[in-house]
Structures are given as structure tokens and as C-alpha cells.
Structure 1
Amino acid sequence: MQPLIISANPNNEYYFHEGCHILELSNSPADGGISIARARVELGQTTRWHWLLHTTERYVILEGRGMVEIGALEPQAVQAGDVVIIPPHCRQRIRNTGEGDLIFLAICSPRFRAENYCSD
């Protein structure tokens, strides 16, 4: 691996059928140990139940408030500064309960791969 700076391009944000907008910040086979995406859940929206095979995901809440459901845990309120750790094969979803967009980083290790994504 070589030193690299990747500049975010907000025009590359896309709507993902899970129910949120995604901006891939870093997801490359050259850095297979991790991927980073910015997720944006619109006001009042809830993502679909989903889980990742062989991948640990972390949500780092940047803006807004939400209610996260992971595995067998009771729903938990989250806000800016909170970190949610989601083990592989663990069902999850998040609902925006704030007054604007809920924005968080989704950090996956190893990196996010579409074939590891599962949903109801």
C-alpha cells in the first residue's frame, strides 16, 4: 500500500435500497482491511433490517439523533459522538428520530463487499 489522500465528492452520493444515502469515502481492494462510507438517513426514515456476513460494522454518529436496533439488544437512542459496534451476522437497522438528517460513518472491517450484504 502507498500513502494516499482520497477527496470526498458529494456528487457521488447515491440512494441505497436499504433506505439511506451512501457516499463511499474509501473502499478498495488495495486497502482490504477496512472501508469507510458516510450514511445519511432522512428525517423520519428507518433503514431495512440487514446484516453483513464476515464483516464487523461500526457506526460513528456525526449529526442528528436516532434509534438503533442491533441483535437482541433493546432499541438504543444514539446521537453525535456515539459509536455503535455491530458484529458479523448481526441484524441491524437505524431510525432517524431527530429534526434533520441523521449522518454517520459506517466503518467496516474487512472492507464492505456487496456479496456480504443480506436483508429481509
Structure 2
Amino acid sequence: MSQARITSPDASAEYFFEEGCFILELSNSVDDPALSIARARVEPGCITRLHRLAHQVERYVILDGEGWVEVGETVAGPIKAGDVVIIPAGASQRIRNTGDRDLVFLALCTPRFEPKDYADIDPAPMDRGNLGD
């Protein structure tokens, strides 16, 4: 990183990502390749696609709501605000909103997230109607 700065993301820049959740990039720049930060939002009753990131260790910091997370073959369980989920590079992952309000979390990736490293491995066909969009 070349210099100190403050960034203020525009909430209207949130977009629906093919994974099945809404994303607002908070920090993801070639100027700071060590880390990216995104706010993810999963609507009630929705689940993200089973996927993996090729090179990034990802951490979910749960900010609001409740859900169920699956990581690889070894971790599956309930999550709530305050929990941190650590996802090794290459591990399969998905998260389901089991509550009645949006499940909101930060996704911190090291090194920074790049779309080319995302792989959808869900055997089910994509059905956006079940993803809440």
C-alpha cells in the first residue's frame, strides 16, 4: 500500500453476485493486494452456491442475522452476530440465512479477492428464484 487513506463506499454500488448474495466492495484494490474486504448480504431463506476460492483464505465476520455455514467436510454449524468463520484456500463453502432478516457479514480475503479465483462447484443448477433476487 502506497499511502494512508480513508475510503467511503457508495451503498448504491451493492450488486448481486453469481454466488447468490449481494456484495458491496469495501476495499479491493491492486494498490493493497494483501487483503480485500466486502460486505455480503444474504436474504432470509436463501443459500449461497457451493463454491471455493482458489488462492484466498477467507474470513466471515458475522455482523447481523443468523445462519448455517458449511466449510469443507469438517465444519458445519450455526452462526450468529459476533462469530468468525475461517475458510482455508480451496475449501468448499456456502452459507444459508436461517433467520427472518438479512444475514450480513464481512468477507475478508487474503490475498485480495479476484473473480478469476472463484469457482462454482454446486451440483444444483442456478435458480435465482431460490436465491431471493
Q: Give TM-score, length-normalised by structure 2.
A: 0.88
Matches within 5 A, 1:1-120: 1-120=2-121
Unaligned runs of 5+ in 2: 122-133
Residue of structure 1 equivalent to 2:126: none
Q: Post-superposition shift, 1:59?
A: 0.2
Instruction: Using the aligned pairs only, state the percent identity.
Output: 56
Whichever residue aligns with residue 29 of structure 1, its letter is V
Question: Which runs of at least 4 in structure 1 moved beyond 2 Å after TM superposition?
Answer: none
Q: Post-superposition shift, 1:114?
A: 0.8
Q: State the Cα deviation string for residues 50-108 of structure 1 (Å, max 9, x = none).
A: 00011100000000001000001242100000000000000000000011000000000
Residue of structure 1 equivalent to 2:131: none
Q: Give TM-score, length-normalised by structure 1.
A: 0.98
Q: Post-superposition shift, 1:117?
A: 0.6
Unaligned runs of 5+ in 1: none
**Cα distance in 2 for residues equivalent to 1:108 and 1:46:** 20
